[in-house]
Amino acid sequence: MKLLIIISGIITCLPVIYSLAPRWALRKLNDTNFSSESGLFVKHWGILCLMMGISIIYAGLNPVYLPVILSMAIFEKLLLVVLIFQGYQFHKNSFYKGFLSTMIFDLICSSFYIFYLNAY
């Protein structure tokens, strides 16, 4: 189980590419162009994903921190799911469509974390 937490933390870190190469990431992963409206969001989001992923990895290696860090991760991931879902519902553009895989991953992780914390 802890290995899955560490792997989910590593995958959670991957969107850091949006901070390092936002134009490339938006064009290749979201099929949209970089703009001032999306640029700040995606750069900041990439950094937050890196920080959350590192925290999840740390919690997987140090179980005493699991309840707190996984609770924060559940909150963050479910909030992002809601934001992506709302954005896609109202705008139906490629910017939000490109984040649908993120939404699915975050739903799976949140469900796993909730299950894990209930069994903890």
Per-residue pLDDT tens over the stretch 19-46: 999 999 888 887 777 777 778 888 999 9
* Domain range for 38: 2-119
Per-residue pLDDT tens over the stretch 88-115: 777 776 677 778 888 999 999 999 999 9
Mean pLDDT, residues 38-55 taken together: 92
CB 7 within 8 A of CB 61: no
Residues 6+ apart with CB under 8 A from 32: 26, 38, 93, 94, 95, 98
d(CA 86, CA 8): 24
Domains: count for the chain: 1
Two structure tokens written together for 116: 């894990």
d(CA 74, CA 87): 20
* Lowest-confidence segment of 42-46, 57-61, 73-77, 94-98 by average pLDDT: 94-98
